[in-house]
Amino acid sequence: MNHSLAISGGAPVRSAARHWPAWPQQAPGAREAVADVLSSGRWAISGPYVDRSSWEHRFADAFAEYQDARFCIPTANGTSALITSLEACGVGAGDEVIIPGITWVANASTVLSINAVPVFVDIDPYTLCLDPAAVEAAVTPATRAIVVVHLYSGLADLDALTEIAQRHGIPLIEDCAQAHGARYHDRRVGGFGVAGTFSLQHSKVLTSGEGGVVITDDAGLARQVEHMRADGRTYRRAELRRGQMELVETADVMGSNFCLSEFQSAIALHQLAQLDMQNKRRRENAAMLDERLSALGLRPQRTSEGTTDRTYYCYAVAADHDQLRRAGMAAVAEALSAELNFSVYGVYTPLYRNRLYRPATRRRFRLGADHERRIDTGGISLPACEQAAATYLTLHHAVLLGDQRDIDDIADAFEKVLLHHDELPGRP
Ligand SMILES: *Cc1c(COP(=O)(O)O)cnc(C)c1O
């Protein structure tokens, strides 16, 4: 029998010799900035002052300006940005926090980590972000926050979600770890709720390796986050002399150490200058890919109506042809990966059955039978989350940073797998 697909021994669409665009991509000036930190005598904001503004201040000012936010507090990662934002909103022991059923595990683990209870809520099947009607139905007297995630390249329906949050008096936190630079009604996302959080982890469209950011327009909330990320210390406002500590023990709120290092701040500041250009390139390539894949009967992820500028953390597409569904997305992803020499994945496994969500493996969550019952996910199944898991595929944004030939390769691979679907292994 003559096999065509690369998984069954055929020639791949794209030879391994052709490389995909690299990620991350070093921004001009980043190398010199890192060298500058090395020789500066100050590697962290908790180190003594050296006669000039910290890189962290410079990055925070630049990001606040980019976002048009009043306050910007860099953090160690997106996880700590979420933890400090939730706590600054007053969320704590036993409170319910609404989160989407499909997202990265941090959205559940951060809620658990402050002794609160994640409430998994279904998504819109087209945008893959929180479904406002499902949010409305999930609100209870114990709900203390809603965390909305702009997933992959979709922006959530912020008009509906901000209305629900305001009507119930519940703080809305926007997790923008996958949406740096996206705009809704001409304004950057992250500014629609009481706080916006970002991750600067390696894979994200703005990265310093690890890192995070909280933005807010609320001075009180900003001050709380500042305390919580630096062990209860905040920046000294008065004149500084060389050798003095810039962080002082204000201690209004107890904290943890979630500070971003000077190396990371210096890198993030330079990478930020590339963000709009890279987002634009990804957007243009994604539009070409949308056209090619739609012509094959596939359904690219959509974004909500209020979206002005979409950004792509991943390109997601529903491959809900019967033949492909029968094989299962894992098999289809494997076949595409072999054609492209690039890893294609499904979407995140719904969090309530995700193997990364395992509170029982940590003694700290044994807070009594009632709490254990409330955080148990047994029996939860959300239809749109399950449907998305069964139909969508995702490609990391690096593949959108190239040219038309790259986009053609991706589309050709989909076309080839569709044509030769009979070579896909059956669902186990
Ligand atoms: C990456 C990510 C986070 C966590 O960020 P880290 O910097 O890895 O801690 C949180 N939420 C979403 C949606 C993410 O994609």
* DSSP letters spanning 388-419: HHHHEEEEEGGGGGS-HHHHHHHHHHHHHHHH
Does 175 sit in the ligand 1 pocket, CB within 6 Å? yes
Q: How far is the CA of 106 from the centre of ligand 1 (A)?
A: 6
3-state secondary structure of 215: strand
In contact, 401 and 21? CB cutoff 8 Å: yes
- What is the per-residue pLDDT across 368-386, written as a single tens digit (0 to 9) for each? 999 999 999 999 999 999 9
Does 109 sit in the ligand 1 pocket, CB within 6 Å? no
Q: Can you give the pLDDT at residue 428? A: 52
Q: How far is the CA of 199 from the centre of ligand 1 (A)?
A: 5
Does 394 sit in the ligand 1 pocket, CB within 6 Å? no
Query: What is the residue whose two structure tokens read 């998305």?
Result: 388
Does 148 sit in the ligand 1 pocket, CB within 6 Å? no
Q: How far apart, in Å, are the Cα atoms of 123 and each of 83, 88, 176, 351?
A: 23, 26, 16, 12
**How confident is the model over 216-233, as a mean pLDDT?**
98
- What is the per-residue pLDDT across 322-335, written as a single tens digit (0 to 9) for each? 889 889 999 999 99
Beta bridge partners of 10: none
Residue 349 has pLDDT above 60, yes or no: yes
Residue numbers annotated as active site: 204
Does 107 sit in the ligand 1 pocket, CB within 6 Å? yes
Does 80 sit in the ligand 1 pocket, CB within 6 Å? no
Q: How confident is the model at residue 3 (pLDDT cuts 50, 70, 90)?
A: confident
Other C-beta atoms within 10 Å of 286: how many? 22
Query: What is the residue whose two structure tokens read 């500590």?
Result: 245
Residue 160 CB partners (closer than 8 Å, separation 6+): 132
* Predicted TM-score of the model (pTM): 0.97
Q: How confident is the model at residue 237 (pLDDT cuts 50, 70, 90)?
A: confident
**How confident is the model over 289-298, as a mean pLDDT?**
97
Q: Which of 79, 102, 130, 150 to mutate to test the pocket of ligand 1 (most atoms within 8 A of CB)?
A: 79
Q: Can you give the pLDDT at residue 323? A: 85
Query: What is the residue whose two structure tokens read 């359904």?
Result: 299
Other C-beta atoms within 10 Å of 9: how many? 10
Q: Can you give the pLDDT at residue 427? A: 56
Query: What is the residue whose two structure tokens read 């940073």?
Result: 401
Query: What is the residue whose two structure tokens read 């979709």?
Result: 154
* Residue of 424, 409, 174 lying closest to 322 (CA atoms): 424
Q: Can you give the pLDDT at residue 2? A: 60
In this prediction, what percent of the chain has a pLDDT beyond 90?
96
Q: How far is the CA of 238 from the centre of ligand 1 (A)?
A: 35
Q: Can you give the pLDDT at residue 412? A: 98
- Residue 59 to residue 195: CA distance in whole angstroms: 18
Other C-beta atoms within 10 Å of 227: how many? 24
Q: How far is the CA of 181 from the centre of ligand 1 (A)?
A: 16
Q: Which of 102, 201, 207 to mutate to test the pocket of ligand 1 (most atoms within 8 A of CB)?
A: 201
* Residue of 377, 375, 352, 350 lying closest to 365 (CA atoms): 375
Query: What is the residue whose two structure tokens read 């589309």?
Result: 411
Task: Compute CA 403 distance to the chain's CA centroid, rounded to the nearest angstrom.
Answer: 25
Indicate which residue's Cα is closest to atom 15 of ligand 1: 177
Residue 73 CB partners (closer than 8 Å, separation 6+): 60, 84, 213, 214, 215, 222, 225, 226, 229
- What is the per-residue pLDDT across 395-410, written as a single tens digit (0 to 9) for each? 999 999 999 999 999 9
Does 212 sit in the ligand 1 pocket, CB within 6 Å? yes
- What is the per-residue pLDDT across 173-208, written as a single tens digit (0 to 9) for each? 999 999 999 999 999 999 999 999 999 999 999 999
In contact, 217 and 191? CB cutoff 8 Å: yes
Other C-beta atoms within 10 Å of 383: how many? 12
Q: How far is the CA of 213 from the centre of ligand 1 (A)?
A: 11
Helix axes 329-340, 404-419, angle to 10 degrees: 130
Does 147 sit in the ligand 1 pocket, CB within 6 Å? no
Q: How far is the CA of 13 from the centre of ligand 1 (A)?
A: 33
Q: Can you give the pLDDT at residue 238? A: 84
